[in-house]
Structure 1
Amino acid sequence: MKTVIKPAKSTSWSMRFADFKEITKVRLAVSVVFSSLAGYLLGADEISFVSLLLLAFGGYCMVGASNAYNQIIEKDLDALMKRTMNRPIPSGRMSVNQGMTIAVVLTVLGVVSLYFLNPKTAMFGAISIFLYTSVYTPLKTMTPLSVFVGAFPGAIPFMLGWVAASNEFGIEPGTLFMIQFFWQFPHFWALAWMLDDDYKKGGFKMLPTGKKDKGTALQIIMYTIWMMVISVVPVLGITGRLQLSIPAAVIIFIMGGVMLFFAFRLYEKRDNVSARKLMLASVTYITFMQVVYVLDKYIPALF
């Protein structure tokens, strides 16, 4: 009997863990934590590994809580879309009460963890959850402007790391915020382009013109250009302690140019293949841009 029961229990726990990862969107959460840690390294005079752990844990909890609240609110709409119908709540594997318990516990753990860093960090983390769940989420079925609203909580992580390290909000974290703010539009609209048919089943209005047309592609190009400009502004020496060497700025600008190339390809072809290439290029850009910033600060000889 024992040889039968143990695998069943193991399977049960593995399924619960898989559902936890799904409701917190583990890949997205990890990418957000990466951005926060990069911001911390840029803002820190001295690196504290305890602070890094608190930021990573608190950041994951805050993102996980936001995603859990989102999936609770959108459970009926998620059931209509192919890509989301197998999520824990719409599939019936997890109840709304269980999802809410996870969301509330993660919220408390996240706020407390970030508060141990400093109150400003906890405040921005709490603002991020509020904007994502209470403003962005309900607007998704009302207006394409929801993407603009959602870009605010989405841009907080890179900035949050600097605030966690310095306990200050000024031109430096503001610049980091703007970089990630403008980056989100080409990234998310490329994703929304690919998923437009599925989004429409759920009643979501995510593309700026409501269509996969030249108007949407043109806006993607414009926001990509703004992202490229803001990303290299620190090379001018006008962003306080946030500095960027000329070689690092050139590398980042070239990486942005790759994104811009794919944005123009999308404008030309207007197909899902081009949108996917742009989306992948955007993920590569945000990751390596942050890596270049950090390396430029700590190992300037590389540039």
Structure 2
Amino acid sequence: MSTKNSAISVTSIISDFKEITKIRLSVSVVFSSIAGYLLGAQTVDFYTLLLLAFGGYFMVGASNAFNQIIEKDLDALMDRTKNRPIPAGRMSVNTAFIIASVFTILGIITLYIINPRTAMYGAISIFLYTCVYTPLKTKTPLAVFVGAIPGAIPFMLGWVAARNDFGIEPGTLFAIQFLWQFPHFWAIGWFLFEDYKKGGFFMLPTGKQDKGTAVQVIMYTIWTILVSIIPVFGVTGDLSLSIVGAILVFALGLFMLYYAFELFKKRTVKAARQLMLASVTYITLLQIVYVLDKFI
């Protein structure tokens, strides 16, 4: 019986560890940074790629663990988060703090091995997410603007890891992912509106599920699409996009824009959820198109 119990407890420790470091989100961040690296790399170095993957995971894991320590009381109020390790009482704040601190140190060291500039952007990302975005979430919808900065760093970080340089290319990658975060975040804020309200979070730009929010979602989606095709005009240095690549990226943008208009028309939780899924599909396929466009 005790072996069965210990097996259960090991499984639950692993699942709590995955939850405190938000492993699914971390995987998407690692995917973004690897895409950025492949776009920037003149020759692909698998050792650097491995360091970037681990560094990226440590970085996001640290940010999320700190976030869950700070928001533990608010998390307990919301259905979506009340079963997280800390509010559910399965993990102590001290344990979470040790994980967050170790991940911060490991993340910065791993990224520093690639180059100091990559480590610096990684550190900025953890700082902004933990010390600025998290406390602002209960104060103002402008928190989304701050949160979009660390959220946009990974795509750019990959390029910086490849080139040890910041210029128009990583700046463009940053701009794409920065603008994309608004429709993505606001779609989540819309369909979790009631739950967020319990925790005192106001994520929508107008604070309500109204036409004003839906209009801003459409505007930011259009800006995202426009910035995404800029590399086809040859004005972004070494970051280029073929005509075919640009058409594919533009088509992906129209797919996402369709769901933004659906949200405007229907203003339902279902429409917001569909937009969120469309936004994730968009950014993932955009990164794949960009990378394939370079190598094919």
TM-score range, shorter chain: over 0.9
Q: Which residue of 2 aligns with 1:159?
A: 156
Q: Give the aligned partner of residue 296 of structure 1.
A: 293
Q: Which residue of 1 is the match for residue 117 of structure 2? A: 120
Quick one: percent identity of the two aligned structures?
69
Structure 1 residue 216 corresponds to structure 2 residue 224: no
**Residue 7 (structure 1) aligned with residue 4 (structure 2):** yes
Query: Of 40, 44, 47, which aligns to 2:41?
Result: 44
2:16 match? 19
CA drift of 1:139 comes to: 0.3
Taking the aligned partners of 1:188 and 1:150, their CA distance within structure 2 comes to 9
- Describe the SS at the equivalent of 1:256: helix
> Hey, what does 1:82 align to over in structure 2?
79
| Pairwise CA distance, 1:81 | 0.3
Task: Provide the residue aligned with 1:281 in structure 2.
Answer: 278
Q: Which residue of 2 aligns with 1:243?
A: 240
The one-letter amino acid of 1:8's match is N
2:168 maps to 1:171: yes
Output the amino acid matched with 1:93: R
Deviation of 1:142 after TM superposition, in Å, equals 0.4
Distance 1:170 1:225 in 2: 24
1:46-195 alignment to 2 at 5 Å? 46-195=43-192
AA aligned opposite 2:127: F
Q: Give me the TM-score of the superposition, normalised by structure 2.
A: 0.99
**How many Å separate the matches in 2 of 1:186 and 1:28?**
17
Q: Distance in 2 between matches of 1:75 and 1:150?
A: 19
Query: Aligned partner of 1:121: which letter?
Result: T
Whichever residue aligns with residue 59 of structure 2, its letter is M
Q: How much does 1:113 deviate?
A: 0.3
Deviation track 1:13-72 (CA, whole Å, cap 9, x = no partner) reads 110010011111111110000000000000000111110100000100000000000000
In structure 2, the partner of 1:234 is 231
Cα deviation, residue 5, structure 1: 2.3
Secondary structure in 2 matching 1:106: helix
Q: Gaps (5+ residues) in structure 2? A: none
Query: Partners of 1:49 and 1:5 in 2: how far apart?
Result: 43
**Amino acid aligned to 1:175:** T
| Structure-1 separation of matches of 2:89 and 2:256 | 39
- Residue-pair matches, total: 296
CA distance in 2, matches of 1:196, 1:137: 17
Q: Quick one: distance in 1 between partners of 2:35 and 2:263?
A: 30
How big is each residue's C-alpha offset from its partner over 1:226-252, in whole Å with a ceiling of 9 and x where there is no partner? 000000000000000000000110010
Q: Which residue of 1 aligns with 2:265?
A: 268
CA deviation string 1:151-188 (max 9, x = no partner): 00100000000000110000000000000000000011
* Structure 1 range deviating more: 252-261 or 4-13: 4-13
* Runs of 4 or more consecutive aligned structure 1 residues displaced over 4 Å after TM superposition: none
Q: Where does residue 201 of structure 1 map in the other structure?
A: 198
Q: How far, CA to CA, are the matches of 1:11 and 1:113 in structure 2?
A: 32
1:264 aligned partner, one-letter code = F
AA aligned to 1:253 is: F
User: Normalized against structure 1, the TM-score is what?
Assistant: 0.97
Distance in 2 (CA, whole Å) between partners of 1:212 and 1:97 is: 38
